[in-house]
C-alpha cells in the first residue's frame, strides 16, 4: 500500500480539492452495498460525522471485503470526489484498502441500539459509539473552556493535594490512603490504630475538595482555580453521584457575595457559548438522538439573566406552591436542605430562569461560610439549573479568626487538623470567596445525558471499578 500522510476525517470533510489522493484511517461504523460496489462509513473520532468510502468490489480481494465488518479498523487510500448522495459533500473513491485490525461478530458495540445500561457494562468499548464520541469531545471542549476562561480573567491554575489529612466540610466518607499491613495493624494501648509507622505518620485520605488549600492560594496570588479529581466514599447509587469525579474550584481574594454570583453566572455562560462555538455538530447529534430539548435549554441559560433569590424567599415560594396544590416528595419548611425537585421547581416552573439562591441557614452549610448579621444565615451561593438542580455551590468564606474558631468548636471539628487553615486568618486575613462546580454535572447539562456515569469515561461507583 502506498504511504500517504494521513488526513483526519474532520479535515477531509472540509476539503474541496477533488481528485486528490488522500489517506484516511478509522473504524467501520457500517458497511452496505451490492455485488458490484460497497459503501463503508468510516469514523476516526475526530468528528461525529463519518466519511463514506466507495469501493468497487472487483478491484479488491473477496476475502478482504469479507473482513470489512462493523468495528474493523481500516487504512484507505483513495480519490476525494464530490458526493453523489445526500448528507455529505465529499466521499472517497477507494484505490487501496488495508485492514489494520479485524473485528469479529462478538464485538459488543454492534449496531443494535443497545441501552446505556448495557454500554456501561462495556465501558471500554462504548467510546467507539457515536453518542459517546460526541459526549467525550464535548467533555474535552468544556475542559478547554474552563482553562481559557480563568486564564483570560487573570486566575492562576493551582494544584491542590490529592492526598490530604483534612476533611473539607465533612462532605461524606473519605477513601483512606495507607501503606500499613491491613492483616497486622499496630494498635496503641487504647486499641486505636497507631499510624506512626504509616507512610505519612498520620491518617490520610483522598481529597473531597481542594477548597481549603485553594484558599491559601487565593490569599497570596489573588485569584486561583483548581481543576482536578475528587473522591467521596459515599454509598450512593444514583444517576447524580460518582465516587471519583472532577471539580472546578475558583477562589478569589476580596470578592464579596455579589462578585461571587457574577463570577458564577459569567463563567457558566462562557462555557455554554464555547460548546456552541466548538461542538455544534455534536450538540446537533445529541439534540436529535438523546434529548430534543437540549439546544433550547442551553439557549435558555445563555439568554436569561440569573435570578438572585434568598433562601427564605425561595422557601416562601415553595410553601405557596404547596398551598396551591403542588405535590413534592420531600417536605418544605424553613431550615430544610432543598431537594433537587424543589430547586427545579424554582427554575423550571416558577421563574423559568436559572436561579442563584443565597443566605442559607447556617446549620445546613459548611463551617467556613461567612455568617450574616442575623446570626442565623450564611453567605452561601448555590446556582440552580433546569433539569439538574444545583450545579454550583459556593460562598463568601469567614475571614474573621474568632468567628471561624467559634464555628469549628461548635461543630466539634478537630482543631489539630485546622491549625494551618486558621493561620490564613491570623496573618493578614482578607475577605475572599469562591465556589465548586462538579465537572460531570456540567457535562450532564451540556450533553443532555441523564446519568452521570455516562459523562465520564470510566465511572467509579459502589461495587464498580472496572476498566
Q: Domain containing 41 — which CATH number?
A: 2.40.50.140
More confident residue, 111 or 167: 111
180 inside domain: no
Q: Which of 301, 277, 274, 299 is nearest to 287 (CA)?
A: 299
Q: What is the pLDDT of residues 376-424, one digit of tens each?
A: 999 999 999 998 899 999 999 999 999 999 998 998 887 777 889 999 9
Output the pLDDT for position 168.
57
For residue 330, what is the DSSP state?
S
Query: Of all residues in the chain, what percent carry a pLDDT higher than 70?
Result: 98
More confident residue, 444 or 33: 444
Spatial CA neighbour of 233 closest among 26, 463, 467: 463
Task: Give the orientation angle of helix 439-447 with respect to helix 257-278, to 10 degrees.
Answer: 50
* Mean pLDDT computed over every residue of the chain: 93
Tell me if 363 is assigned to some domain. yes
Give a yes or no: residue 3 inside a domain: no
The reply to whether 148 and 31 lie within a common domain is no
* 323-375 confidence digits (pLDDT tens): 999 999 999 999 999 999 999 999 999 999 999 999 999 999 999 999 999 99
172: closest CA among 247, 230, 246, 251? 230
Domain boundary among 101, 116, 136: 101
162 shares a domain with 69: no
Structural domain tally of the chain? 2
Q: Cα(207)–Cα(175) distance, rounded to whole angstroms?
A: 8
Domain identity same for 160 and 33: no
Q: If you search the block for the grid coordinates 470510566, which residue do you land on?
A: 458
25 and 151 together in one domain: no
Q: Is the dihedral of CA 64, 67, 73, 76 positive or negative?
A: positive
Q: DSSP states of 428-445 as a string? A: S---EEEEEEEHHHHHHH
Query: In what side-by-side order are the strands of the sheet with 176-177?
Result: 163-164, 204-206, 176-177
In-domain check, residue 185: no
**Residue 171 confidence (pLDDT):** 46
pLDDT digits (tens, 9 = 90+) for 103-125: 998 999 876 778 999 999 999 99
Give every CB contact of residue 445 below 8 A, 6+ residues apart in sequence: 297, 385, 387, 388, 391
Please state, in angstroms and rounded to a whole number, the distance separating the CA atoms of residues 94 and 79.
Answer: 7
Report the 10 Å Cβ neighbour count for 241.
18
Residue 178 lies in a domain: no
Contact present, 445 and 385 (Cβ < 8 Å): yes
CA 301 to chain centre: 18
CATH number of the domain to which 351 belongs: 3.30.930.10
Report the alpha-carbon distance of residue 451 to residue 467 in Å, rounded.
18
Give the C-alpha separation, 367 to 362, whole Å: 8
Question: Are 226 and 272 part of one and the same domain?
Answer: yes
Mean pLDDT of all residues in 263-282 = 98
Domain co-membership, 353 together with 273? yes
Residue 77 backbone dihedrals phi, psi, to 5 degrees: -100, 135
Give the model's pLDDT for residue 172. Answer: 54
- Structural domain for 262, as ranges: 126-172+208-454
Query: Shortest CA distance to 366 belongs to which of 248, 190, 215?
Result: 215
**Is 2 a domain residue?**
no
* pLDDT of 266 strictly over 80: yes
Residues 45 and 143 in one domain: no
Neighbours of 330 (CB within 10 A): 11
In this predicted structure, the answer to whether residue 466 has a pLDDT above a threshold of 90 is no
29 and 70 share a domain?
A: yes
Question: For residue 177, what pLDDT band results from cuts at 50, 70 and 90?
Answer: very high
Output the pLDDT for position 235.
87
**Tell me, what's the pLDDT at 271?**
98
Q: Could you tell me if residue 386 is inside a domain?
A: yes
Closest CA to 379 of 270, 201, 255: 255
Q: Identify whether residues 45 and 158 lie together within a single domain.
A: no
**420 phi/psi in degrees, rounded to 5:** -70, -35
| Same domain membership, residue 140 and residue 68 | no
Q: Which residues contact 374 (CB under 8 A, 6 or more apart)?
A: none
* Structural domain contains residue 177: no
Task: State residue 91's pLDDT score.
Answer: 95
Co-location of 94 and 145 in the same domain: no
Residue for grid cell 484507505: 76
Return the percentage of the chain with pLDDT > 90, whole number.
84
Whether 272 and 417 share a structural domain: yes
Amino acid at each position: 500500500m502506498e504511504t500517504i500522510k494521513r488526513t483526519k476525517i474532520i479535515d477531509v470533510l472540509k476539503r474541496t480539492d477533488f481528485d486528490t489522493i488522500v489517506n484516511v484511517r478509522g473504524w467501520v461504523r457500517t458497511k452496505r452495498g451490492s455485488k458490484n460496489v460497497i459503501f463503508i462509513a468510516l469514523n476516526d473520532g475526530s468528528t461525529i460525522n463519518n466519511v463514506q468510502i466507495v469501493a468497487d468490489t472487483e478491484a479488491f480481494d473477496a476475502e478482504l471485503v469479507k473482513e470489512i465488518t462493523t468495528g474493523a479498523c481500516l487504512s484507505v487510500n483513495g480519490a476525494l470526489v464530490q458526493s453523489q448522495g445526500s448528507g455529505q459533500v465529499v466521499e472517497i473513491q477507494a484505490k487501496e484498502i488495508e485492514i489494520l485490525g479485524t473485528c469479529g461478530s462478538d464485538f459488543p458495540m454492534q449496531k443494535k441500539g443497545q441501552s446505556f445500561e448495557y454500554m456501561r457494562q462495556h465501558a471500554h468499548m462504548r467510546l467507539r459509539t457515536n453518542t459517546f464520541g460526541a459526549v467525550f469531545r464535548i467533555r474535552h471542549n468544556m475542559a478547554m473552556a474552563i482553562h481559557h476562561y480563568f486564564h483570560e480573567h487573570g486566575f492562576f491554575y493551582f494544584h491542590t493535594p490529592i492526598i490530604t489529612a483534612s476533611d473539607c466540610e465533612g462532605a461524606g466518607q473519605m477513601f483512606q490512603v495507607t501503606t500499613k499491613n491491613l492483616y497486622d495493624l499496630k494498635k496503641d494501648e487504647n486499641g486505636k490504630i497507631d499510624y506512626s509507622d504509616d507512610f505519612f505518620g498520620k491518617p490520610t485520605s483522598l481529597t473531597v475538595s481542594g477548597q481549603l488549600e485553594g484558599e491559601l492560594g487565593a490569599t497570596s496570588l489573588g485569584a486561583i482555580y483548581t481543576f482536578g479529581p475528587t473522591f467521596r466514599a459515599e454509598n450512593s447509587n444514583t444517576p447524580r453521584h460518582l465516587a471519583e469525579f472532577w471539580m472546578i474550584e475558583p477562589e478569589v481574594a476580596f470578592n464579596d457575595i455579589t462578585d461571587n454570583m457574577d463570577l458564577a453566572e459569567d463563567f457558566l455562560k462562557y462555557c455554554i457559548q464555547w460548546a456552541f462555538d466548538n461542538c455544534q455538530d455534536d450538540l446537533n447529534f445529541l439534540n436529535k438522538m438523546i434529548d430534543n430539548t437540549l439546544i433550547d435549554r442551553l439557549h435558555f441559560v445563555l439568554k436569561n439573566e440569573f435570578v438572585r433569590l434568598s433562601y427564605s424567599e425561595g422557601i416562601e415560594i415553595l410553601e405557596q406552591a404547596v398551598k396551591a396544590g403542588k405535590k413534592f416528595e420531600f417536605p418544605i419548611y424553613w431550615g430544610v436542605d432543598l431537594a433537587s425537585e424543589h430547586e427545579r421547581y424554582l427554575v423550571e416552573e416558577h421563574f423559568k430562569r436559572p436561579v442563584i439562591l443565597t443566605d442559607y441557614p447556617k446549620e445546613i452549610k459548611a463551617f467556613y461560610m461567612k455568617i450574616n448579621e442575623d446570626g442565623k444565615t450564611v453567605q452561601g451561593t448555590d446556582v440552580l439549573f433546569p433539569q439538574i438542580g444545583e450545579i454550583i455551590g459556593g460562598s463568601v468564606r469567614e475571614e474573621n479568626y474568632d468567628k471561624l474558631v467559634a464555628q469549628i468548636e461548635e461543630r466539634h471539628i478537630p482543631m489539630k487538623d485546622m491549625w494551618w487553615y486558621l493561620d490564613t486568618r491570623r496573618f493578614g486575613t482578607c475577605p475572599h470567596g469562591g465556589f465548586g462546580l462538579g465537572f460531570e454535572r456540567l457535562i450532564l447539562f451540556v450533553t443532555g445525558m441523564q446519568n452521570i456515569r455516562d459523562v465520564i469515561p470510566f465511572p467509579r461507583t459502589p461495587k464498580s471499578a472496572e476498566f
